[in-house]
Structure 1
Amino acid sequence: MSEAKKTVTIIGAGIVGVSAAIELQRDGHQVILIDGKGPGEGTSHGNGGILASCSIVPVTGPGLWKKAPKMLLDPEQPLFMRWGYLPKLAPWLMKYMGHANAGDTARIAAALAPIVGDSLADHQALAAGTGAERHLKPSDYLFLYNDRAHFGEDAFGWGLRKKHGFQWDELVGAEFRAYDEIYAKDITFAARLKDHGIITDPGQYVKDLAAHVTGNGGRLIKAFVTDVTRKNGTVTGVRAGGETIPCDAVVVATGVWSKPLAEKLGISVPLEAERGYHLELWEPSAMPKAPVMVAAAKCVVTPMEGRIRIAGIVEFGGLEAGPSKGPLELLHRNARRILPGVTWKHEEEWQGARPAPADSIPVIGEVPGLSGAFVGFGHHHIGLTGGPKTGRLLAQMISGRTPNMDMSAYDPERYAI
């Protein structure tokens, strides 16, 4: 490890950025967090809240080519498109769909498993002593199916999970009802994985982690970064809010908004906004025992502080447009279908953007040709799950240590301009 202590600017105060900040402080570095909206205000606020270690199977599984057109034409399916955006989306979409085969799916799963596989332990280590522990709760994680035949349709994905060491038990019929009777009666089969977890208030969790950073001497600046300054191939600072802030290293961790800055650093990542939605049911009459993925609806149901959050939906339509009516209406219908006996006092809706690289593998590491420039983004559906591990890996590299895992799958060099 290098003995030199550095001043590191982290652009983006979501889960990846604050995780990197805490780990860098633990290594003795000075940290500056910069975010245009403040900590935990983007996707780190609106996610499903599940530490989904088993979520290593990408959206682009085998057979997606056949399924996607039918899904787009069915308003009851969780895939939506703003058709006016399709011409701009097309180049990325062709690369993305090019991975919808068994070989690439297995390769992507192998890359994701080391980032998310120990998420609960990673979050426990990150949050220890920060005041954010109160939002962290170990739990089971269940995948719900109509019946065993329905479960069998996902055999390829479950085979990949088994290959990477995940184990589960099966709850069928009355056994599942005895576990949790809150769900619709046509759901008769569950695969239960243990050693997962939830964050009961994701936005506040990230805010509490950021408060720990500032409480330990870190700076928090609310501004938008426009560029990274450099001299002789080395980072010297960042430009934000009309001023230049000196630093020895920089981390770009702004999720789907990372692409323009990354290009200024010398990498061009095929990255798109996968628009996601959630619906919160406040003060419900009953609360789920554990978070679940409802396979038929492709949405998650998570018990949180004072509310149930139902999150999901895949919509392509860029970053500029506001929420669409169709996805939110589907979430409302799903809430009634999945939780038929539950009542609640009021509802809240949210729409945000997941950072979707064309190969579904995050970009983590030092940018080639620019010493001191690091990136950590592109986690697609697993940003909260993989944030702490990503932050720790970045801190190790910035501190001059070699991570004890193969980083080649995430190397920014694969996108060097």
Structure 2
Amino acid sequence: MAASMPSDMIVIGAGIVGISTALALQSRGRAVLVLDRPDPALKASAMNAGAFAFSDIVPLATPGIMRKAPRWLLDPLGPLSVPPVYALKIAPWMMRFWRASWPDRYRASMKAQASLMRVSQAALTRQVTDASAQHLLQAEGQLQLYEGEREFRASLPGWELRREHGIRFELLETREAIAAYQPGLDPRFTHAAYTPDWTNTCDPARWLSHLRHVFESRGGRCEAEDVLRLVRHEDHIEIMTTNKAVTTRQVVVAAGAWSHRLAASLGDHIPLETERGYNTTLDKGAFDLKTHLTFPAHGFVVTKINGGVRVGGAVELGGLALGPNYRRADILLEKARRFLPDLKTEGGSQWMGFRPSLPDSLPVIGRSPGDGRVLYAFGHGHLGLTQSAGTAELIADLVGGNRPPIDLTAFSASRF
């Protein structure tokens, strides 16, 4: 296997975190090569809900959540499920998930998440200006919807924690107040919370394509290579692909749900699992959507994509190998039709993708414990788009020898 010419800086992964990181490094004078798997399938960075969810600081592992665990196995179509054939394999991850739900860890994770959100929101503003991407944003807020007083009251501690972290919101306790933001909802939704600073991209695929075009127009390179492992040498890192070996001085691993395999080649064993997300995209005219809708008790969202509607979400912890269960997408669409009686559900296109998830809902951002020349930027779960610009700037700070604006201890790979 012949080695290619040396490269100064390589980013592995051309998803939204990888491309954003490549752009940030490029803006600080680095010559960057991006490598990514030659996979024709649409990835999570292109087919997500398109939300910059800066108010979404509550970890998936909330106190008391493990009491619901038996129901996950009994309801494979529920909002948070583990396929029975995968239950034994994921058991060690679930133990870490359970520990992350303890009140001390839960609050620490939320604090760290809030700090990353603040950095990411400011970084997005800079990224939008730098990439001239204002035309791809739609700032229409978000409604979280609740069925009845009891469900609403149960949500209030979470909103109070958001208030403590400076997140703006308005609590709505009448159907009329809700309808002022989004008409056409089923009357079962009696309460809601509105977050005015919530922003979406009109299409995450166009967003990613635009940033990649900016990167390449400034001299950046992207190559389709399936990276197999990393090999340490005294004066360089060797990246082994299916076709060749590439040498470089520094590497950023931002390969999403496949990242832990590369980390393991350096001896870093990171408990990354895969949130398998499902959605259905409906054409223009499906519904007059005014704002991003979140149905927290059902684990899905309804969002505007290119003037159409995307219905998706839920969490299926099922790894990378199992085939998709599109009945999950069907269930979400059926619920959306009940919740939005005027929704036209004909002719939609379905999708399933992989979201890299760590037990405490925090990504890994920082240097590899096994080799400081390798930096990690992965594990964002369903917040990859939201935290991509912030993660990129933090990695660029580390590469440049600058002190990051937040403490990265909570995001260290060695925390496990």
The TM-score normalised by the length of structure 1 is 0.92
Quickly say closer, same or farther: Cα 1:372–1:306, change in 2 above 3 A: same
Quickly say closer, same or farther: Cα 1:87–1:145, change in 2 above 3 A: same
Q: Tell me, yes or no, if structure 1 residue 228 matches structure 2 residue 234.
A: no
3-state SS of 2:332 partner? helix
After TM superposition, give the deviation of residue 326 of structure 1 in Å: 3.4
> Which residue of structure 2 lines up, in the alignment, with residue 103 of structure 1?
104
After TM superposition, give the deviation of residue 265 of structure 1 in Å: 2.2
- Supply the distance in 2 between the matched residues of 1:135 and 1:23 (Cα, whole angstroms): 19
> Which residue of structure 2 lines up, in the alignment, with residue 363 of structure 1?
364
1:187-233: CA deviations, max 9, x gaps?
Answer: 1211011212001111221121111111111111011112224322x
> Which residue of structure 1 lines up, in the alignment, with residue 3 of structure 2?
none
Contact 1:248 1:372 in 2 (8 A): yes
Moved more, 150-159 or 261-270: 150-159
Supply the AA of the counterpart residue of 1:213: F
1:78-104: CA deviations, max 9, x gaps?
Answer: 123221111111111111122222222
Among 162, 187, 191, which residue is 2:193 paired with?
191
Supply the AA of the counterpart residue of 1:108: S
- Supply the distance in 2 between the matched residues of 1:68 and 1:371 (Cα, whole angstroms): 38
3-state SS of 2:348 partner? strand
Supply the AA of the counterpart residue of 2:409: S
Contact 1:131 1:208 in 2 (8 A): no
Contact 2:225 2:242 in 1 (8 A): yes
Supply the AA of the counterpart residue of 1:158: W
> Which residue of structure 1 lines up, in the alignment, with residue 4 of structure 2?
none
Matches within 5 A, 1:1-400: 7-37=8-38, 41-74=42-75, 77-117=78-118, 119-130=120-131, 132-171=133-172, 172-232=174-234, 234-400=235-401
1:146-185: CA deviations, max 9, x gaps?
Answer: 2333111123322321221112112222121122113212
Contact 2:76 2:82 in 1 (8 A): no
After TM superposition, give the deviation of residue 375 of structure 1 in Å: 0.6
1:274-313: CA deviations, max 9, x gaps?
Answer: 2111111212343211112112322111111031111211
After TM superposition, give the deviation of residue 77 of structure 1 in Å: 3.1
Contact 2:336 2:343 in 1 (8 A): no
- Supply the distance in 1 between the matched residues of 2:134 and 2:40 (Cα, whole angstroms): 17
In the comparison of the two structures, how many residue pairs are matched?
A: 409
- Supply the distance in 2 between the matched residues of 1:56 and 1:269 (Cα, whole angstroms): 22
Supply the AA of the counterpart residue of 1:309: R
Contact 2:299 2:315 in 1 (8 A): no
Supply the AA of the counterpart residue of 2:289: P
The gaps in structure 1 that reach 5 residues or longer are 1-5
Contact 1:58 1:108 in 2 (8 A): yes
The TM-score normalised by the length of structure 2 is 0.93
Contact 2:231 2:265 in 1 (8 A): no
Supply the AA of the counterpart residue of 1:53: F
- Supply the distance in 2 between the matched residues of 1:26 and 1:352 (Cα, whole angstroms): 30
Contact 1:364 1:410 in 2 (8 A): yes
- Supply the distance in 2 between the matched residues of 1:347 and 1:255 (Cα, whole angstroms): 27
Contact 1:256 1:354 in 2 (8 A): yes
- Supply the distance in 2 between the matched residues of 1:42 and 1:291 (Cα, whole angstroms): 21
- Supply the distance in 1 between the matched residues of 2:133 and 2:197 (Cα, whole angstroms): 19
Quickly say closer, same or farther: Cα 1:111–1:145, change in 2 above 3 A: same
CA RMSD across the alignment:
2.0
Contact 2:175 2:187 in 1 (8 A): no
- Supply the distance in 2 between the matched residues of 1:411 and 1:81 (Cα, whole angstroms): 27
Contact 1:124 1:136 in 2 (8 A): no
After TM superposition, give the deviation of residue 132 of structure 1 in Å: 3.9
State, as a whole percentage, how many aligned pairs show the same letter. Answer: 33
Contact 1:238 1:244 in 2 (8 A): yes
Contact 1:275 1:352 in 2 (8 A): yes
- Supply the distance in 2 between the matched residues of 1:360 and 1:38 (Cα, whole angstroms): 27
3-state SS of 2:127 partner? helix
- Supply the distance in 2 between the matched residues of 1:70 and 1:245 (Cα, whole angstroms): 47
Quickly say closer, same or farther: Cα 1:323–1:39, change in 2 above 3 A: closer
Supply the AA of the counterpart residue of 1:412: A
Quickly say closer, same or farther: Cα 1:63–1:236, change in 2 above 3 A: closer
> Which residue of structure 2 lines up, in the alignment, with residue 3 of structure 1?
none
Supply the AA of the counterpart residue of 1:176: I
- Supply the distance in 2 between the matched residues of 1:216 and 1:97 (Cα, whole angstroms): 45
3-state SS of 1:384 partner? helix
- Supply the distance in 2 between the matched residues of 1:102 and 1:135 (Cα, whole angstroms): 39
After TM superposition, give the deviation of residue 131 of structure 1 in Å: 5.0
Quickly say closer, same or farther: Cα 1:239–1:226, change in 2 above 3 A: same
Quickly say closer, same or farther: Cα 1:142–1:118, change in 2 above 3 A: farther
Contact 1:20 1:388 in 2 (8 A): yes
